[in-house]
Amino acid sequence: MRTPFNHLAAPMHFYRWGARLVPWLGACTVVLLALGWWGGLVLAPPDYQQGDGFRIIYVHVPSAWMSLFVYVVMAGAGAVALIWRVKLAEVLMAASAPLGAWFTFLALATGSIWGKPMWGTYWVWDARLTSELILLFLYLGVIALLAANEDRRRASRAAAVLALVGVVNVPIIHFSVQWWSTLHQGPSVGSFGAPSIHSSMLVPLLVSALAFKCYYLTVLIMRARCEIVERERNSAWVREMLPR
């Protein structure tokens, strides 16, 4: 029985409506990023302890959030690909992996830069930092499996299994500060009750995080459309739409 989801999940239809979404998502990314960084880097007051050094949160925190969000999306797409054999799910998983790896790397790099003045060192084998590093290795493992086999369907299945196994690391990263004694500060936004960060700093942070999410969706669709063309290059609709 066909549903509207089957229609939207068809590579041909995704390719077409994705082209309409990319300009709008790209524009939202630019506007939100400009607003978030203007509010965070210019309007927000210096932190009473860290001074202006705290402003790195407007890159570090959204990157860290996105590293987890993208992994969950990637693993979810992998589950759909394994269970229902949906081609688009395989495409979204493959398109998400490099983006998630870059977000994770950016979170680790900015965290190290922030850690030097705060902790006196660029790196400690802290529970949060170590589990985030493992997340980067999981992303790289998925990327490697996707590239290791010329049979894209078989490679996608292997990568999906690894992505699903690695999901266990996501709650470990999120709750590591509460579960273990760690140098990393506790949650300032996601904790129960009122946020421990002032609204003049919080609002630009949330806007920046939304900008990062729009950026991810923009590039995800662009990468997915390229992946679809590569996978469906022998299909009639590709030859008709993109004549050589």
Q: What would the pLDDT profile of 172-205 be if each residue is shown by its tens digit?
A: 999 987 777 676 666 667 554 556 688 999 999 9
- What digits encode the pLDDT tens for the residues 77-101? 999 999 999 999 999 999 999 999 9
Burial class of residue 172, CB neighbours in 10 A (0-12, 13-18, 19+)? middle
Banded pLDDT at 113 (limits 50, 70, 90): very high
**Residue length, the chain?**
244
Note the pLDDT of residue 180. Answer: 76
pTM of the model: 0.92
Banded pLDDT at 49 (limits 50, 70, 90): confident
**Half-sphere exposure at residue 139, Cβ-oriented, CA atoms within 13 angstroms:** 27
Is residue 76 over pLDDT 90?
Answer: yes
Banded pLDDT at 7 (limits 50, 70, 90): low
Is residue 5 over pLDDT 60?
Answer: no
Residues 6+ apart with CB under 8 A from 136: 101, 104, 105, 108
Q: What is the DSSP string of 158-172?
A: HHHHHHHHHTTHHHH
- What digits encode the pLDDT tens for the residues 130-142? 999 999 999 999 9
Is residue 4 over pLDDT 80?
Answer: no
Note the pLDDT of residue 197. Answer: 85
Residue % of the chain over a pLDDT of 90: 71
Note the pLDDT of residue 137. Answer: 98
Burial class of residue 84, CB neighbours in 10 A (0-12, 13-18, 19+)? exposed
- The lowest-confidence range among 42-56, 105-119, 137-151, 192-206 is 192-206
d(CA 35, CA 28): 11
> Would you kindly state where each structural domain of the chain is located, as residue ranges?
58-181+197-241
